[in-house]
Every structure is written in C-alpha cells, then in structure tokens.
Chains A and B, each alone.
Chain A
Amino acid sequence: MSKTVVKSNKNNIKPITMVIYIFLIILAVIYLAPLLWMLSVSLKDNAGVMAAPFALPEVFHFENYVQAWTLGKLGQALINSVLVCGVTLIVSMFFGAMAAFAIARMRWKFSEAMHTFFLIGMMVPVHCILIPLFVRFAKLGLTNSRFGLMIPYITFSLPMTIFLLTGFFKSMPGELFEAAAIDGCGIYGCFFRIALPLCRTGFFVSGLMTFIGNWNELLLAMVFISDPMKKTLPVTLTYFVGPYATNYVQMFAAIIIAIAPTVIVYCMFSNQIVEGLTTGAVKG
C-alpha cells in the first residue's frame, strides 16, 4: 500500500492520538468480544451455558466440534460449498470481465445504458424472483443439482463484478491498448493479453466479494437443494436449530467451523482488498 496521509512532525504521540487509540481499542473489543464469546460457548456443554453463559469453559468440550462435524455432515457440505462457490467465482469473473471490458473500453452507443442496466440488478432482492425461478428450473430439471444452484449465483454475482471491474478497466491508461493495437493486437488480444493480466487486483477484490457473498447465501440454497449430499454449509447450519429443542453448543461449534474458512481467507488477504478498492471502486 502506498504511503499515505500526513505524518506527524513530532516524534512523541499527541494527546489526541492517545484518545483515538483508546477509542479504537474499545471498539475493537466490541467487535471481537461477541466472536470470542461464541468460541467460548462452543467449547462448553449446554447446562454450563445456561448456568453461566459468560464464564470461560472449565473443561474444553472439543467433542462438540466432532459431533457437529459428523452429525451435520459438514465435510460434505464444505465440499459442496467450495464446488458451487468456486465454479461460480470463475465463471462470473470471466463473464463479468468480458462485459465490463466492453462497457469500460469499447465505444458504442449503449455502453452507459448497459452499465446502468447491470447495476439495477443489484437492487433486485432475491426473494422476489425465487418462485418463478424455481418453477422454471424445476421444469428444466435444474433443481436439486449443484449446477442449477450455480446459475442464479453467477447471475447475482455479475452486477458487483461488472461494477468493480468496469472501474478497473476504466482506470487503465488508454496508451497501453493503443500500443498493443499498433503491434497488431486485435480486440480479443487486447482483452486477453492486456486487460485481463493487468486487472489482477480487480479480480481479486471482486472475486473475494462474490465468493464471500455466495459462501454465506442461504435462501436459494435452501429452496433449490433437497438432497442431503448436495447441501451447502449455511443450509446444514440451520439444522442445529431444531423445532423442539436447541443444542446451543453444537450450533455454535458448527457456526465456527462454517465461518473459519472465511476468517482464514480474510485474514490472509484483507490488505489486498483495500488495495483493490483504492484503485478500482473509486473510479467506478
């Protein structure tokens, strides 16, 4: 990340900075405490949670995780989630990049209109179209299949991808493409050899965003998939909240297992997100 903003001229920390730090630390506690509390609950037993919800676990009940993993078939669910989200990611980025490239760099009458058209897609709540979509897909035999789930996921990922990538493509200097054209590069060459490789950060940001969005998506997955072997992670999570009894500790253990991949991926790449946003979304 580029060095930014004004540095204080003096070496000692000013009182105002101290105040800011205190504020930021309190805030950080507010952010982390509930998550850590969830971790603590997931290691207790149900009776212990009811008796003293905020006490740290006396005995670590790691078996909650084992039970959650086996009972909830989290392994299979993890595979399904990775598969569905992975394919969605690749396809939506490719299609999104193509459309974004045409909108951002090519010259045609409706490019602005097309951009707006895709953006309107962001406003459609998925609930509205669930029924017509499901009925249609059922007729085509696309329900209860992971492939069928990918199609709406890809579609709903497109607006965000196009929005972000258009910004990235627009920010690329035009001379690059002109030079390439002079070298005899056609439009497809420009796209594949110049635009795509130069847009890595853009892919990274939009990819991460759509991946996270789909990873957490519940409603479509719930309605579309019936076969227990094809369910995604969020759907399996809901089963820990049973109709007549709630098993809190296993529920939290399952939630932790489910969010762990996101947290790990996030911690590894969070800096790139900002970097990407800096160069991309700003110009969107």
Chain B
Amino acid sequence: MNKKRLLSVLLSAAMVAGTMTMAVPVAAEETEEITWMFWDDLEATEDLISKGYKEVIDRFNTEYEGQYHVTPITTNLEEYDGKLNALIAAGQTPDVYICNPGPNMDVYVNAGAAADLTDILQNQEADWYASFTDGIFERMTYDGKIMAVPTNFAAACVYYNTEMFAAAGVEVPATYDELLEVCQKLQEAGYTPISCSAGTAWCLSMIAGYLCDRQGVDLQAIADHTANWTDENCIAAGEKLKELSQYFQPTAAGDSNDQATAAFYNGEAAMLVQGSWAIAQINGNNPEFEEKCGVFQFPGIEGANDPNRMIVKTDNLLMSSTTEHQDAAIALMKMFTDETAQKYTAEVGGKFPIIKDLEINYDKAPAQLKYVQDIMANATGTFGFYNESLVSVEAGDCFDNAMVDIFLGNQTPEEAFQTVQTFYEDNVWE
C-alpha cells in the first residue's frame, strides 16, 4: 500500500495549505441565528447588485452583533430553485429567501412556504410600509395579502451608441417603423444595428415581449382563455420579431447574454435591448462607454397598443412561514430596504430603489440611470418579463423557446405560436 500512503501524504499536504484560509465565525450563544438564501456567491461575485447585498449582510451582522446573526446560503442561479425546493420540502426553509416575481413566486406562495406580511407591514411596521414606492407591492399581493418585500426594480430599455447614431445620421426612433429605418441606415453605414442574444433565450424573449405588448397582446385574457396565442396580434408580433432579427449580429444565435452585451459596450453594435442591470455591467467593463451610451424606450407600434408601457422586474424577499425568528427576519428585510442599501442600489448598482423620497445623487450614479428614470416618469403602465408573467415557469420557457425558433427560422410565427397554444390547451386550459 505504499502508493496509497504516498497519495495520502500528497493530499494531506494540500490540506495543510488549505487550512490557512480557514476561518470559522463563532456566534455568541444567545444570538438568534437566521439564514438568507441567495442566487449568487457573495464572495466571488462581480455583480454590483450582489456586492450590495453582501454589504447589507455585513452591516446587519455588525449592527445586531450579539442579538441577531444571518448566514447566507448561496447557490448559483441555475440550481437556486432546485435547492430551495429541496430545502422547503425537507422542512428547512431559509428564514428569508430571494425570489423572482411571477409563476416562480406563485409556487412558494401556493405551497405555503411564504409568510403573509400584510399585518406586519400595514400595522406593526406602518412606517416601513409607508416608505415604499406606491403600487410597488402590486405583483406581490395574492388575494389581498402581501407576500413579499421588493429590494429593487429594473426596467428594460433600448441602449444605443450615440456616436454610431450620429455617424449614420439617425435619430432616436419613436415607432417600430422608424426603428426599422434606423436599423437599415445603420447597416448601410457599416454597423451592426442590434446586439441580441438568442443563446440566452430570455434576452430574445424580452424583445418579443415588448413587441407582443405593443401589439396589444393581453396575457390575462390569454390566461382566462378569452384570447388565444394564435390571435392576429401574437402572429403580428412574431412577424415583427423575425423582421427585426435580420438586423441582429451574425452570431446572435449562439452568443450568450454576456457576449451580446459585450458586443454593445465594445462598440461592435449600435443598440442593445436590456434591463437596467446591464448599466452596471456596461460601465463596469468599459468605463469610457458611459458618455456615449444613450437610452430610449422601446418604440411603439402605430395604431396598436399604448407605447409607454415598460417591462419592469423586481427582486423580492420572502419570509419563511415557519421561521422562529420573525423579528430577526424582519430586521434583515428592513435593512435591505433602508436608505443606505437603496442609495447603493441606485448609485452603484444601476437598479431602481423601491422607496420614496430617496435622494439619489445622479452625479454619482451612472448617467444612463437618469435617462431610464426620465423614461420611467412618462410610463403609463408596467408589465413583467413575458417568461415570468405566464401561468407557470414551464409556460414561460415554452414561450421563450418558440421565440428562439422564430428567430432561427425553424418555425413560422404561426407555427411557433401554435406550439404555445397547444401547450396551453394541454396544460393550462384543460
């Protein structure tokens, strides 16, 4: 067994090397321990919003030292829901956990894994409740019960390269037809008009979602089966997606979200449709780009729906319905939504705060945030990401995939929406 012994010596040498980095936090005995579950590694992350969350956690543990202590449970994004489900199924629901809005949150609310926060917010912590932006709880309310607290929200807009627009002699388009013209001129001037990722399906589906909404697709009516996915307005949106996609970069089909965004901030394409979280990514990777990056809202379609509706998305905190440390959990959620955290969200993270009367120093904040803010001021309504607004996560994926198929040319818009229609017939409308 000499070789095995050698092996163990080798490996234990590696162990000793590793021990140096060990540091186990020791909590005082009477401290209330809670857990918070999140979808990014707080130590290794490059994402500015995640870094902001880490600051909140550190602040919480310092401020409440001896009283409360929170330990984050982190996974990567892909495995987040699987792991959270396993924990809930096993009766180990984290005290506070983050969640996307829409069908994802429905799952946890319907399973009884989330605590009803209505009473806490409206009565016990009325001041806290009053600090939130009006109407922000709309998508977190189930049968009149508030089930979550938002930490920020982001809006999807079109980012554009002002230099390229000037060089091609084009102005910001207000309608879809103008957008096509702009694309055409940009292309003639030798630029790639739009950078988009179909490799990451939700990026493409964001454009599709805007087109559907601009065409007047009513998701609630579809969910109630008073409208169909095969209706004219859906098909028209699909055709416009196909039309617009000829102006995407040639590698759009395979590029990931990161690559598509990188193509934009590296000056390889003139426009990018993204959520405002991309601001942090753009400025973080190419600081010089900030001054030539403009923002406009997704153009409307003439003679169709209201052109001032915006795609927005909140990050939400849910509290476990079975938590034994409600006070600690509430204190943590309050810290996520206090002024310090919210200021960070806006000025560094590039997402929108969810509390009122917050003074944002726009000189410190990324320039684009102000543009998005101005657009939001004119917004007449908001709606969610399409894949997060359908009846289930699976339905959202089905929609995303159908859009990818339209883009790749594997299916005509009619065929693609028929797939979604069939999915609804088989799974939703039964």
Contacts and interface: CB of A to CB of B under 8 A. Distances in A.
A247 B79 contact: no
Interface string B304-332: 00000000000000000000000000000
Contacts of A78: 14-15, 17-18
Q: How large is the interface on A (under 10, 10 to 19, 20 to 34, 35 or more residues)?
A: 35 or more
A53 to B, nearest CB: 12
A255 B86 CA distance: 27
Contacts of A238: 76, 78-79
B21 A244 contact: no
B92 A242 contact: no
Contact of B47 (A77, A83, A200, A244): A244
A73 B89 contact: no
Q: How large is the interface on B (under 10, 10 to 19, 20 to 34, 35 or more residues)?
A: 35 or more
B74 A261 contact: no
B281 A143 contact: no
Interface string B330-362: 000000000000000000000000000000000
A245 B281 contact: yes
B24 interface: yes
Interface string A199-234: 010011001000000000000001100111100000
B377 interface: no
B7 interface: yes
Interface in A225-272: 226-229, 238-247, 261, 264-265, 268-269, 272
B26 to A, nearest CB: 12
Contact of B76 (A83, A204, A241, A268): A241
A261 B91 CA distance: 37
Contacts of A131: 86, 89
Given A204-B4, A229-B24, A242-B40, A261 B281 contact: no
Nearest to B256: A246
Contacts, number: 128
Interface in A28-50: 50
A200 B1 CA distance: 7
Contacts of A69: 21
B7 A240 contact: no
Contact of A139 (B17, B19, B90, B266): B90
A79 interface: yes
Interface string A125-162: 00000110011011100010000000000000000000
Interface string A59-75: 00000000001111111
A138 B45 CA distance: 29
A75 B87 CA distance: 27
B83 A135 contact: no
Nearest to A226: B73
Given A244-B281, A246-B258, A264-B10, A75 B77 contact: no
A79 B22 CA distance: 10
B22 A76 contact: yes
Given A76-B22, A134-B86, A245 B258 contact: yes
Chain A CB within 10 Å — which of B1, B41, B43, B87 has the most?
B41
Chain A CB within 10 Å — which of B39, B79, B281 has the most?
B79
A82 interface: yes
A76 B76 contact: no
A139 B86 CA distance: 12
Interface in B21-44: 21-22, 24, 35, 39-41, 43-44
A86 interface: yes
B18 A79 contact: yes
A238 B82 CA distance: 15
Interface string A169-199: 0000000000000000000000000000000
Given A79-B18, A134-B90, A242 B8 contact: no
B222 interface: no
Contacts of B76: 238-239, 241-243
Contact of A75 (B20, B46, B75): B20
B3 A75 contact: no
Contacts of A245: 46-47, 258, 281
B277 interface: yes
A220 B74 CA distance: 15
B312 to A, nearest CB: 17
Contacts of A222: 75, 79, 83
B262 interface: yes
Interface string B49-92: 01000000000000000000001011111110011001101111
Chain A CB within 10 Å — which of B1, B21, B73 has the most?
B21
Given A138-B90, A246-B258, A73 B43 contact: yes
A245 B353 CA distance: 22
Contacts of A73: 21, 43
Contacts of B77: 242-243
B21 A86 contact: no
B11 interface: yes
A207 B237 CA distance: 59
B400 to A, nearest CB: 16
Chain B CB within 10 Å — which of A50, A139, A228 has the most?
A228
A70 B90 contact: no
4 tightest A-B CB contacts, nearest first: A138-B90, A75-B18, A243-B77, A239-B41
27 contacts: A50-B262, A71-B44, A75-B17, A75-B20, A75-B22, A76-B21, A76-B22, A77-B18, A78-B14, A79-B15, A82-B12, A83-B15, A86-B11, A135-B89, A135-B90, A138-B90, A139-B90, A222-B75, A222-B79, A222-B83, A223-B82, A226-B35, A242-B40, A243-B76, A244-B258, A245-B47, A261-B10
Given A79-B22, A86-B8, 16 more contacts: A75-B20, A82-B15, A130-B86, A131-B86, A134-B90, A138-B86, A207-B4, A222-B83, A223-B82, A223-B83, A238-B79, A243-B76, A264-B10, A268-B3, A268-B7, A269-B7
